[in-house]
Amino acid sequence: MTALLGCIADDFTGGTDLAGALVKAGMRTVQLIGVPDGPLPADVDAVVIALKSRTSPVEDAVAESLAALRWLRQAGCRQFYFKYCSTFDSTPRGNIGPVAEALMQALDTDFTIACPALPANGRTLYKGHLFVGDVPLSESGMCNHPLTPMTDANLVRVLQRQAQRKIGLVDYATVSRGDAAIRECFDALRQQGHGLAIVDALSNADLDAIGAACVDLPLVTGGSGIALGLPQNFRRSGLLAENVVADALPKTGGLRAVISGSCSVATQQQVQVMRASFPSFGIDPLRLERGEDLVAAALDWASARIAQQPVLIYATATPDTVREVQAELGVAHAGELVENALAEIASGLIRLGVGQMLVAGGETSGAVVKALGVKGLRIGSEIDPSVPWTSTLHDDGRQPLALALKSGNFGSEDFFLKAWEKLQ
């Protein structure tokens, strides 16, 4: 059993985004959390290894990415993909350039592309300049990013500052002429001594053409957009079946629970809607700080109700309440108290027989996944845009859990109610 496409993502949610895109494009995809030590799961066409390397020291990002590549090669992947943010989040030192070049060297290839375009989300590239909506990247607010301020929209220049090899450009005049023209341009750039090329793209049709042109490149780098064109190459060469059901998940029974540690606007509404008709238990960080055992209390409370209907356990609070708590406990300490409590509660709920769980909040999801010992996720169909059902992968023979991880502002108001229907 081997996979076709091996991807390395520089952060977790970026990995999820890419995995979801690949499933929609017809590849059965798993997302693995960190470099795995176990074997490749069965029935997988694409693997996304999610690292946390976007802002780590360059040497660490390179070493982890190379370790991920080694595993993906052993898993039999034929083409490799380095996924970063569609706003090219990086510092003057990296890590996009150094990681891409290290992967090129390990794969013994002298040419690849860099294309973060994601037209569906307003990220387009023209004459090497990245636009976010109607404005250049450098005027998009990204110049104020706390970790990766982006002050130059010219990605040829940005990448050249991070890379040893010469950076070229496949401009829109070429891209608009289709995949054969793009491929000719790759060859010309390579002959002129360019190691990487930024590629212009304004639409999904451009992404398809670029994807088709990448058929023979051992390594492709970009945002999640450019990956959309790759599955079709595998289909054309007969490696990927036309009619594969990419979003099928193993059936998971069990009880149902929602855990919410997100205080984002969308989650607040979702919590209100669920509280109106289902049993719910609130976690107050100030009571946790006083040493009250809210984990045991929540699990006791849940055990009396959960067999009858889904339950909600939440720390979600209004901005005013959160500010008061943070003023008293400090932002980091308050966050940690809540994350730890919710993660322990999630583990307890599994022991009570929960087999289907929704988790709201990016950091909260990270804490829950860690506490449950989840090694990876098989990606299923979307409940709402960018929030798929997944099935957990464990390396100790445990039964998979149906898990949906929702970042703060995603999902409709009735998300916590309607999600179960999509599992049927």
Binding site for ligand ADP (CB under 6 A): 261-264, 267, 285, 315, 317, 322, 325-326, 334-335, 338-339, 361-364, 407-408
Q: At closest approach, how far in Å is the CB of 366 from ligand ADP?
A: 8
Q: At closest approach, how far in Å is the CB of 172 from ligand ADP?
A: 36
Residues 73, 6 contacting (CB under 8 angstroms): yes
Q: At closest approach, how far in Å is the CB of 283 from ligand ADP?
A: 7
Nearer to ligand ADP, 171 or 284 (CB): 284
Q: At closest approach, how far in Å is the CB of 411 from ligand ADP?
A: 11
Q: At closest approach, how far in Å is the CB of 345 from ligand ADP?
A: 12
Nearer to ligand ADP, 162 or 268 (CB): 268
Q: At closest approach, how far in Å is the CB of 63 from ligand ADP?
A: 27
Instruction: Look at residues 368, 301, 407 and name the one whose alpha carbon lies nearest to residue 17.
Output: 407
Nearer to ligand ADP, 217 or 337 (CB): 337
CA 188 to chain centre: 34
Q: At closest approach, how far in Å is the CB of 356 from ligand ADP?
A: 20
Q: At closest approach, how far in Å is the CB of 149 from ligand ADP?
A: 21
Nearer to ligand ADP, 326 or 412 (CB): 326
Nearer to ligand ADP, 118 or 338 (CB): 338
What are the two backbone dihedrals, phi and then psi, of residue 263, each rounded to the nearest 5 degrees? Answer: -110, 15
Nearer to ligand ADP, 15 or 261 (CB): 261
Nearer to ligand ADP, 113 or 313 (CB): 313
Q: At closest approach, how far in Å is the CB of 264 from ligand ADP?
A: 4
Nearer to ligand ADP, 188 or 286 (CB): 286
What are the two backbone dihedrals, phi and then psi, of residue 357, each rounded to the nearest 5 degrees? Answer: -140, 140
Residues 370, 405 contacting (CB under 8 angstroms): no
Nearer to ligand ADP, 152 or 289 (CB): 289
